[in-house]
Amino acid sequence: MIDLKLLQKDFQSLSAKLMRKGVDAALLENLKNKNEELKIAKINFETLQAAQNAMSKEFGVYKREGKDISELKAKVDANKIEITKALDIQREKQEELENIAMAIPNVPDDSVADGEDEDDNVELKKVLTPKEFNFTPKEHWELAEENGWIDFERGVKLATSRFSVSFGMGARLERALINFMLDFNRSRGFDEVSVPALVNRTALEGTGQLPKFEDDLYKMDGLELFLIPTAEVPVTNLYQDEILSADELPKKMTAYTSCFRKEAGAAGRDTRGMIRQHQFHKVELVALAKPEESEKIFDEMVACASDILTALELPHRLVDLCTGDLGFSAAHTTDIEVWLPGQNTYREISSISNTREFQARRAKIRFKDGKKNSMVHTLNGSSLAVGRTLVAIMENYQNEDGSIDIPEVLKPYLGI
């Protein structure tokens, strides 16, 4: 959640930064008005409370001096009723303000480029040179079906569209990739954790998926439980509503989970193949850090994900997202896009984000900073999306006869 103290201190500066991310000026003005209403409600409550304290002292004097207290008692009783009403109004105004604030995205870093969409993102660098084929490379769904690695029709039979079933070497490669990625991340200092695939509403509010993106989530009927859209949600929320010691930071974690998304806003996009599935496997990086360390850890996370692709000998590029393409919770994001020769383009395979204090404020994750409690910075990123990595291997390691070679670093995981 945005810093409401900053809203009070400098509304113009905060609103200007949020409008860079496409936040409507009318919504910001409403936020400002609700904040003013809350301030007035607090002042009214505090005034009544002060009057109550004064009358209580006077009440004691009257009793000691033997004066008639009936009139004063009537005033005290009437004021108590007004205090209760004022407290109810204050709570109502607080809830109204927080409901609006929960729907407002994070403030982008000043270094983030202005832009409307992915066409305005800024390429940072390319890593490895794409292979030149002496034949027309096929797309992954052709290769998957030819080699019997993935069956899309049986996925539909078992569930619905955008589900698939992996067989044989396809299934083995998915497992090998998961183990390779987890081992690689642990070698870079990220502790492995295993977390539930179901989380409650509070956890999703903490990382910013709710309330804005509820239509993209799978919800359990009759329960306030949701299938996770990413391991970022349960791993970040491991420390929800806790105060950590400074010595505990940074906390660097990695987790493998299946992820579930309705992709409600992606109709017609990537309907063939494994690029945009309702269920997919992913290895995630999550970090909780002191504010002064978060940028360094962000760079470590980008390097970790990029180096996995380099180890797999998959060409890729790093791209900084512009304001128009930046996610709801992110202050700064670097995407990693892998080269897909079958599509003759780079496609996103990882997204590393620094959310600064945004998620920590929502999830109440703090650390003891000297004598005071401060918000941690939270970071997250794919390392990597397993299905998309398998897609990249199929397309980059294909041969003219349709067979697919295996990356050297994965052979020990396959017993080859």
Which pLDDT score is estimated for 264? 56
Q: Is 364 left (phi over 0), alpha (psi -120 to 50) or beta?
A: left
Q: How many CA atoms lie within 13 A of 26 on its CB side?
A: 0
**CA gap 69, 49 in Å, rounded:** 20
Residue 273 has pLDDT above 80, yes or no: no
- Answer whether the bond into residue 105 is a cis peptide, omega within 30°: no
Calculate the alpha carbon distances from 345 to 13, 149, 275, 317 in Å. 39, 23, 13, 11
What pLDDT digit, counting tens, does each position of 157-186 carry? 999 999 999 999 999 999 999 999 999 999
Residue 267 has pLDDT above 60, yes or no: no
Mean pLDDT of 61-73: 81
Backbone angles phi, psi at 202, to 5 degrees: -60, -40
pLDDT band at residue 17, thresholds of 50, 70 and 90? very high
CB-CB contact of 274 with 388 (8 Å): yes
At residue 43, what is the residue type? I
CB-CB contact of 361 with 154 (8 Å): no
Q: For residue 367, what are the contacts with CB-CB under 8 A and spacing of at least 6? A: 243, 244, 245, 246, 248, 249, 290, 373, 374, 376
Give, in degrees to the nearest 5, the angle at Cα 247 between 246 and 248: 90
Calculate the alpha carbon distances from 80 to 86, 264, 276, 318 in Å. 10, 50, 59, 62
Q: Which of 172, 362, 366, 388 is catalytic?
A: 388
Top pLDDT among 5 and 253 is at 253
Please give the model's pTM, rounded to 2 decimal places.
0.90
| 146 in active site | no
DSSP assignment of 87-112 equals HHHHHHHHHHHHHHHHTSPPPPPTTS
- Average per-residue pLDDT in the chain? 94
Which pLDDT score is estimated for 252? 98
Q: Which of 201, 276, 317, 347 is catalytic?
A: 276
What pLDDT digit, counting tens, does each position of 73-119 carry? 888 889 999 999 999 999 999 999 989 999 999 999 999 999 999 99
Which pLDDT score is estimated for 188? 98
| 162 in active site | no
Q: How many CA atoms lie within 13 A of 265 on its CB side?
A: 6
Residue 238 has pLDDT above 90, yes or no: yes
A 10 A CB-CB count for 129 gives 8
Three state DSSP letters for 174-208: HHHHHHHHHHHHHHCCCEECCCCCEEEHHHHHHHC
Q: Which of 20, 162, 172, 261 is catalytic?
A: 261
| 276 in active site | yes
Which pLDDT score is estimated for 330? 98
Using alpha carbons only, how large is the chain's radius of gyration in Å?
A: 27
**CA gap 240, 195 in Å, rounded:** 14
Q: Which of 351, 353, 382, 383 is catalytic?
A: 351
Q: Which of 36, 37, 348, 374 is catalytic?
A: 348
Residue 12 has pLDDT above 80, yes or no: yes
Task: Say which residue the tokens 């990537």 belong to.
Answer: 270
Which pLDDT score is estimated for 8? 78
**CA gap 364, 346 in Å, rounded:** 38
